[in-house]
Amino acid sequence: MVKKFLNFISKEFSGLHQTAFLLSLASLVSQLLGLFRDRLLAHTFGASATLDLYYAAFRIPDLIFVSVGSFLAVTVLIPILIERGKQNDISAEKKFMDSLFTFFLLVMAPTMLLAFIFAPVLDRIFVPGFSDAQQIQLLSAVRILLFSPLFLGLSSLFGSVTQARRKFMIFAISPILYNLGIIGGIVFMYPIFGIQGLIYGVVFGAFLHMIIQVPTMFSSGLFPRIISEFHFQDIKTIMMRSMPRTLGLGALQLSVTFLITEASYMAAGSIAVFNFAYNLQSVPISLVGISYSVAAFPLLSRLNAEGKMEEFARCVEAGIRHILFWILPFVSLLIVLRAQIVRIILGSGHFSWNDTRLTAACLALFSFGVIFQNVVLMLDRSYYARHKTKVPVITNLLGSVTIILSAVLLPRIASVFPVFFSTLVSFLKVKDVTGTEVLFLPLAFSIGAAANFLLEWSYFKKDLNTKLTGELKETLTQSLASSIIMAAIAHASLFGFARVFNLNTFIGVLFQGGLSGVLAVAGGIITLISLKNRETSELIETFKKKIGFISITIPGQDQL
C-alpha cells in the first residue's frame, strides 16, 4: 500500500499546463485546508490579542528562513541540477548536494542559537506595541517556532531534486501536509498546551513538508550527508546566484514585518485582521501565479540552456496570458463578493460581524495588488531561469521600500486630507467600524506590488527586446471585459438574493454569495466565448485530454 502510494506521487510530469493544473489542484486542496485552518482560528479566538500574538511569532522565524533557507531556493538550484544532470554523473550531483547540506546546517545552527538568545530583544523591536505579558508569551512561541525554518530549508533543498526530476506530485503534496500539521495543532494540541500547542502544530507541519521529499532523495541516490570538506566553489556559485534573490525576499519580509509592527500599535486584533485578509488574497496567487510560474520554470531553464530565446519569450508570454485569463475574473469576484467570502470562511464562533467587515475591506484593498503579484511571479522565474537575479532583487527592493514609505505616508496624507480616508472607508462600507486605521496596511502593500510590477515589466521588455504582443493585448482586453461584466452581474445578484435568503444565517450568506458567483461566472464564460477568446477555446478542448484518471487542461507545448 505504501509502495503504491510512493509510486503514485513519484510520477513524472512534463507539459507546462499539465503540470500547472496538477499544482493548481494540489494548491486548491492546500488553500482549502488553509482556509479551514483560518476558520478554526477565527472560530476559537476571533480577531483578538491572542491571534495577534500567534501571527507575530512568525516574524523572526520567517526572516531566518528567507535569509538562510532561501539560499537553497529551487529557482537557483534547479538550473544547476539540470545542467549537471546532462553530464550523467550521479557522483558529482551527490557531492554537490552533500556540500549544500553541510553548509546549510553550519549556517542555520548558529543562526537559530543566536535567535534563541536574542529573541527577547528582537521581539520588542518587531512588535513594540505588545504588553509585557504578551511579550513573555511571544518569547516562548518564537523559540519553539525556530525549528520551522530548519525543516522548511531542508525541504527546499530536497524539493529542488524532486522538481528537477519533474516529480511535481511530491512538491504539490508538501504544503497540504504543512496545513494538516497546523490544523492538528489547533484541534489536538491547543486544548492541552494552549498557545504553545498552536506553535507545535506549525513545527510538525514543517517537518511533514520536509519528510515527504525524503523517499525521492533516496531513490535518486542524492540523499545528502554531512561531510568534513565541502566544495567551496559550489557554495560560492549558489551564494552568488542566491544573494540577490535573498536580499529581495528579505526586503519583502522586512516590509511585511514593518506593517505588523505598525499594526501592533493599533487596536487589538489588527494583526489578526491583516493576516486573515493577507491569507485570503494569497489564494489566487497560489492557484494561478505560483502554479504557472513553478510549472514553467524547468522548461524556461532548458530553453535558456539550449539558447532558444525566441521560444523562451513565447513561453513567458504564454504564462502571462494564462495568468491574466484566470486572475482578472478571480479578482473581480474577490472584490464584489468580499463580505460573503469572509463571512462564509471565517464567520464563526468569536469572529464578529465587525471583524468580518474590517477583514473584507482589507481584502478588497489587497485584491488590487493581486494582479501585479501574479505577473511578477512569472517575470521573476524568467530571470532566475537565465541566472539573472539582479533585476528581480532591484525591483523587489524598490517595491518593498514603496510599501514601507506608503505605510508611513498614507496616515499622514489622511490627516492632512481627511476626505481621502473618509471616502475610502465609505467606499468599503466600514465607516461605522472601529479599527479602520488597519486599512492603510493592505493599501500600502498593493501600492508596493504595483510599483514592483511596473519596474520589472519595463526591465523585461528591454532585456528581451520584446513588447506587448497582439495576443497578450487581446487576452488582457477580453479578460478585463469579462471581469467587468462578471462584477456587474455579481453585484446585481447580491441585491436580488438578499431579498430571498435570510442573511443572518450561514446558509443564507452561502447561497447569496454562491449563486451570485455562479451567475457571474456563467456571464463571464458567455462573454469570453462571444469574444472568441483563445484561452477559453483551449480550455474547452483540453478538458477532453487526461492525465492519470483526471480530465484536465493540457494545451500542448506547441501552443505556447
Residue whose cell numbers read 539573472: 388
Query: Which tens digits make up the pLDDT trace of 200-257?
Result: 999 999 999 999 988 888 887 888 888 877 777 778 877 777 777 677 778 888 899 9
Phi, psi of 213 (to 5 degrees): -80, -20
Question: Is residue 180's pLDDT more than 90?
Answer: yes
Q: What is the pLDDT of residue 412?
A: 93
Range of 229-233, 241-245, 384-388, 524-528 with top mean pLDDT: 524-528
Residue ranges covered by each domain of the chain: 49-246
Query: Which tens digits make up the pLDDT trace of 68-81?
Result: 876 666 667 777 77
Instruction: Please enumerate in sequence order all residues whose Cβ is within 8 A of that of 109, keeping only pairs 6 or more positions apart, or say none.
Output: none
Q: What is the DSSP string of 251-304?
A: HHHHHHHHHHHHHHTSSTTHHHHHHHHHHHHHHHIIIIIIHHHHHHHHHHHHHH
Question: Is residue 524's pLDDT more than 90?
Answer: yes
* Contact in structure between 150 and 284 (CB atoms under 8 Å): no
- Give residue 36's Cα distance to chain centre: 17
| Coil/strand/helix, residue 319 | helix
Q: Alpha-carbon distance 151 to 139, whole Å?
A: 20
DSSP designation for 430: -
Residue whose cell numbers read 514553467: 296
Q: Alpha-carbon distance 140 to 200, whole Å?
A: 11
Q: What is the dihedral of CA 441, 330, 285, 277, to 10 degrees?
A: 30
Instruction: Read off the C-alpha cell for 383.
Output: 530571470
Q: CA of 30: how far to CAs of 7, 35, 55, 175, 505, in Å?
A: 21, 9, 19, 6, 27
Q: Which residue has the higher pLDDT, 548 or 399?
A: 399
Q: What is the dihedral of CA 93, 99, 101, 102, to 10 degrees?
A: 160
Q: What is the pLDDT of residue 165?
A: 72
* Contact in structure between 60 and 142 (CB atoms under 8 Å): yes
Percent of the chain clearing pLDDT 90 (strictly above): 48
